[in-house]
Structure 1
């Protein structure tokens, strides 16, 4: 199962640099021409997701793509793009799980990110070798500070549901399990871990708690 790594692989730094001086004239990502009004529309998406830096310019995007291409050995997406697309797959899993209800504070960002990833009018076509998902990675990266807690919770929900299914000898999808059950089970697990810590640090050995369960 995919887990969120402790280290986020950075996107090219030029994407966060304030444009200064005379703008460059790069406007191609590989052989694909960036259209100004599509770039402006893309910036509007980023603003709605919380980007506070100045709007991205075509030169920044072209330079970022070139830097990623220079680091690549083939036409595969760079590791930083692959990492963010793994995050996108987690968002898809979250929305596809009928028993998981995302927290209200994350719902809007999840919807906006997935709307962009699923639409046909993305800034850079996926067919552009190596960097065709750069725009998607930027969208995910922009929204990530508002999504990371919810995604982490969903991964923990999957973990505890899998443990409970194994305890019952049933399949993952067969057991009744939702966000409320997950919160209850997480609390029981936390109390169990605290009890075990006290036993390890104390000078007595009381009877261990029975394994937690959801009825």
Structure 2
């Protein structure tokens, strides 16, 4: 059984649900098996352990989104696109040295999302962004750790050094976080340390005379 992965929001898409009936796709959203296979290949290039994408799951997800009140459906899409904007900012930030493997995968993700004529054309109202947010959702574990580090870095920069920049700022952030980890580890060791020597269960450490 696959272990759960980080998701871009606290409410994951119900992509792997197999309980709902399979609806028919709208004619404008009809996609070919080859197109779905290519999309699935991209998902797994970005995150090899992602769930598989097939027509049935895509149809169920489209039906789920279409059945929601318009404002709620829009929020589902916008929340994930907002996380993508955070990733764009991370790539563009001169103070952040993005890990090369993450950058390469993120470039491919952005290239897909920026293509308006992808698996589901963006011109289709709302559902045209379904494949984009699904790609963000399934590929998110490939970016989650660095995205959270970057979010923490931005908070640190704004609070502690709002006018600083460059490699020295990031080095300062790393040093402070390592110091925090070392302090936490020391507290754990102190908590677990036995000040009195261990004695055999039958032997009392004290003797009354």
Q: Same fold (TM over 0.5)?
A: yes
Distance 2:144 2:53 in 1: 24
Cross-structure match for 1:134: 130
The C-alpha deviation readout for 1:135-175, integer Å capped at 9, x for no partner, is 11111111211211100100111111112334xxx4xxx54
Change (3 A) 1:25 1:119: same
- Give the 3 Å change call, closer, same or farther, for CA 114–185 of structure 1 in structure 2: same
Larger Rg: 1 or 2? Answer: 2
Correspondent of 1:48 among 45, 48, 70: 45
For 1:117, the equivalent position in structure 2 comes to 113
User: C-alpha distance in 2, partners of 1:75/1:87?
Assistant: 18
Q: Give me the whole-angstrom Cα distance separating, in 2, the residues matched to 1:76 and 1:129.
A: 14
Match of 1:212 in 2: none
Measure, in 1, the Cα distance between the counterparts of 2:60 and 2:52. Answer: 16
Q: Return the match for 1:93 from 70, 89, 106.
A: 89
Distance across 1 between alignment mates of 2:7 and 2:109: 20
| Aligned length in residues | 179
Structure 1: which 5+ residue stretches go unaligned?
A: 198-215
* Unaligned 5+ runs, structure 2: 1-5, 188-209
Aligned: 1:9 with 2:5: no
Match of 1:148 among 134, 144, 147: 144
Partner residue, 1:61: 58
Rate the CA distance shift 1:6–1:60 in 2: closer, same or farther, 3 A.
closer
Contact conserved, 1:81 with 1:137, CA < 8 A, in 2? Answer: yes
Describe the superposition over 1:72-127 as per-residue Cα deviations: whole angstroms up to 9, x where unpaired. 2x267443332221210111000111221112452333222222112243212233
Tell me the distance in 2 between the aligned counterparts of 1:114 and 1:141.
13
Return the alpha-carbon distance in structure 1 between the equivalents of residues 82 and 174 of structure 2. 25
Q: TM-score, normalised by structure 1?
A: 0.67
- CA distance in 2: counterparts of 1:120 and 1:101, whole angstroms: 29
Counterparts in 2 of 1:182 and 1:89: CA distance versus 1, 3 Å: same
Could you say if the C-alpha distance between residues 56 and 92 of structure 1 is closer, same or farther in structure 2, counting changes exceeding 3 Å?
Answer: same
